[in-house]
Structure 1
Amino acid sequence: MASKSISLAKFIQSSPTLLKLVKPVANAYAQAAGYRQMGLRYDDLLTEENFQTQKALSRLPEREGYDRVYRMRRAVQLSINQRLLPKEEWTKAEEDVRYLAPLIEQVQAADDERLYWDTIKVQKK
C-alpha cells in the first residue's frame, strides 16, 4: 500500500499549545477568504474535475448533496448580484465542517488498495 505521510493538520491538532497559536490565524484566514459570507463551506470550494472528488460526491447522502447544490447556486446568484448574505446567514465556524474530505480519503484509500492488489507480484516457490 501507499506509505502514510504525517499530515501537518494532524500534527498541529495533536499539540494543544500549537493549536492554540494557529487556530486564530486559521479562523482569520477563513473569514478573509469570503466563502462563509456567501453561505459556503470549505469543502464546497474543492474542485470537482477529478475522479476521486466525483466518486466522493456520488457517495454523499441525498440531503447533503441537495444542501451542497443549494449553497452553490445561492453563492453563484450572490456573485452575479455582487452581494453578500446578511450577517446572520453567514456560515459559522462551527458549521464549516469537512463533509467531503473524509469521503475523498476513503476513495483514495480504496484506489490505493486496488492499485496494490492489481500490481502485486506473485512469486513461485
Structure 2
Amino acid sequence: MIFGPTSLSLASRVTANKTLLAWCKPIAAWYTDLMGYRKYGLRYDDLILEENKDMYRSINRLTDRETYDRGFRFKRASQASILHTPLPKEQWTKPEEDTQYLRPHIENVIAENKERKYWDNLKVQRK
C-alpha cells in the first residue's frame, strides 16, 4: 500500500470502524492524560511550535479573546512549572474544553500558501 496525500489517514480508518474506535478511545484518553499538559491548564493546540511563518500568521488570525486566553494559559502554566506543582484540580483543562482553536487557522494558512505558490509560478505565454 502506498501512503500519500490521497490515502486515508489512520485516524479516519479508526473512526470508521466502531469496534476499533471503542478499543482505541480509552487508550487515547489515557495517553492524553499521561501527557500532562491539561494539569497545567493548557490545550493541545498550545503545544504546537510557533517557530515558523505559518504559525505566526495563524496566531495573528485569532480573535482578541482567544489571544488573551492563550497568553493567560501560558503565564499560568509557566508559574505552575516554576513552582514544580501542577494547578489545583479544578483549574485543569477539562477534555470538553480541549478543542482545536488554532488548527483551522493553520490549515487555512497552508492552503493559502499552496494556492499562492501555484499562482506565483504560473507561466504566461504569448501567442
Q: Please, what TM-score do these two structures have when normalized by structure 2?
A: 0.87
Count of aligned residue pairs for this structure pair: 123
Give, in whole Å, the separation in 2 of the partners of 1:95 and 1:121: 47
Give, in whole Å, the separation in 1 of the partners of 2:114 and 2:64: 27
Shift of 1:10: 3.1
Which residue of the other structure, out of 51, 58, 61, is the alignment partner of 1:59?
61
Give the RMSD, CA atoms, in angstroms: 1.7
Which residue of the other structure, out of 111, 115, 118, is the alignment partner of 2:117?
115
Shift of 1:13: 2.7
Are 2:86 and 1:84 equivalent residues in the alignment? yes
User: What is the DSSP-based 3-state SS (H/G/I as helix, E as strand, rest coil) of the residue aligned with 1:36?
Assistant: helix
Which residue of the other structure, out of 6, 9, 15, is the alignment partner of 1:7?
9
Residues 40-55 of structure 1 mapped to structure 2, 5 A cutoff:
40-55=42-57
Read off the aligned partner of 1:86 and give its amino acid letter.
Answer: P
User: Which consecutive residues of structure 1, in runs of 5 or more, have no partner in the other structure?
Assistant: none
Shift of 1:6: 3.4
User: Which consecutive residues of structure 2, in runs of 5 or more, have no partner in the other structure?
Assistant: none
* Percent identity between the two aligned chains: 51
Which residue of the other structure, out of 70, 73, 86, is the alignment partner of 1:71?
73
Shift of 1:17: 2.8
Give, in whole Å, the separation in 2 of the partners of 1:116 and 1:11: 31
Moved over 4 A (4+): none
